[in-house]
Amino acid sequence: MTKPAILLLAHGTPNSIEDVPEYLANVTSGRTLSPEVVEEIKRRYSLIGRSPLTEITMQQAALVSRELGLPVYVGMRNWKPYICDTVLQMTADGITHAVCICLAPQNSRTSVGLYRRAVIGETGKAPFTVDFVPEWHAEPLLIRAFSERLRDGWSSACLEANAPVPVLFTAHSVPVRTIEAGDDYERQTRETAELVAATVPEVSGRWLFAFQSQGMSCGEWLGPSVESVIEELAAADQKYLFVQPIGFVCDHVEILYDVDIAFKKCAAERGITLTRAESLNDSVLFIRAVAQLARTRLAAWAQSSS
């Protein structure tokens, strides 16, 4: 008897400030970070209270499960519930096939590629088959979900400014060497932004794109950075800016600190009022997007198995 399930994958986040050093060791695969870097990360988490990523991802899983009528599991790469522990639970529950969906819609070997290796490394020992969704950056329901958030937030920003406000779409930066090695991530992030912008005609010609949350490691990271775009807008005497991250699907430190605190402060110091779109979180359209992805893959699996 077959028993399919869905496995949602995410980066993970520490449960408390005290967990930050261990969490960072997982992120860097044991590479030692300077005490200054560790303290800076702890400071960021202290300013936002804590990251709600795990809690929201669990809520998303429950909503997708309700939509599909199937079990939906959550596995984190860098914190609890770890992927390895989730795979053990799925095995104990008698799962025979899993559709794995990374909650980062754009595919990069530094994100999705790492999740894939982690899952395959664990499921190679498990008695169930795996179907890994490679990317879903152009999934129509995902675009509609981002569009809905854009319309709602941007309209309010324009009312406050009493004029059309430029939109800045953002995605997490990756090392330049990753793109130079042939990674498709940059193209996919920009395509997501283009598709979302196209759904709101009033935004046409008024949007920009930047990469955020560049790492603290050595080497060049993909740009332009959000800070550099803010500098350019300030030089052009722009007074308002609306930000929509399109590489993230829920609130976490890169939203609640990087955008809501750091970028907002950077903008304010240059005379710019910065607001942002609400994260997807429990968006009905987003939940339907994930469910539809799973439904399509499960249908193909059922057909190939018959």
Q: For position 5, what pLDDT does the model report? A: 98
List of residues 6+ apart from 188 with CB closer than 8 A:
105, 106, 107, 135, 137, 138
Cα gap 254→260, rounded to integer Å: 9
Given CATH 3.40.50.1400, say whether it is the number of domain 140-276: yes
CATH number of 4-136+283-305: 3.40.50.1400
List of residues 6+ apart from 36 with CB closer than 8 A:
none
Q: For position 20, what pLDDT does the model report? A: 94
* pLDDT, tens digit, 9 for 90 and up, residues 172-182: 999 999 999 99
Domain ranges of the chain: 4-136+283-305, 140-276
Contact 186, 171 (CB under 8 A): no
Q: For position 303, what pLDDT does the model report? A: 87
Domains 4-136+283-305 and 140-276 share a fold: yes
How are strands ordered across the β-sheet holding 240-245? Answer: 207-212, 167-172, 240-245, 273-276
Task: For residue 42, give the H/E element and its range.
Answer: helix 35-48
Residue segments in the chain with a per-residue pLDDT below the cut of 50: none
Beta bridge partners of 4: 97
Chain Cα centroid distance, residue 4: 25
Cα gap 104→69, rounded to integer Å: 23
Q: Token pair of 189, please?
A: 């992030």
- Full DSSP string of 214-264: --SSSS-B-S-BHHHHHHHHHHTT--EEEEEESS-SS--HIIIIIIIIIIH
Cα–Cα distances (Å) from 131 to 101, 105, 194, 237, 272, in that order, read 9, 16, 28, 50, 46
Q: For position 23, what pLDDT does the model report? A: 94
Q: How many CA atoms lie within 13 A of 182 on its CB side?
A: 0
This prediction has a pTM of 0.95
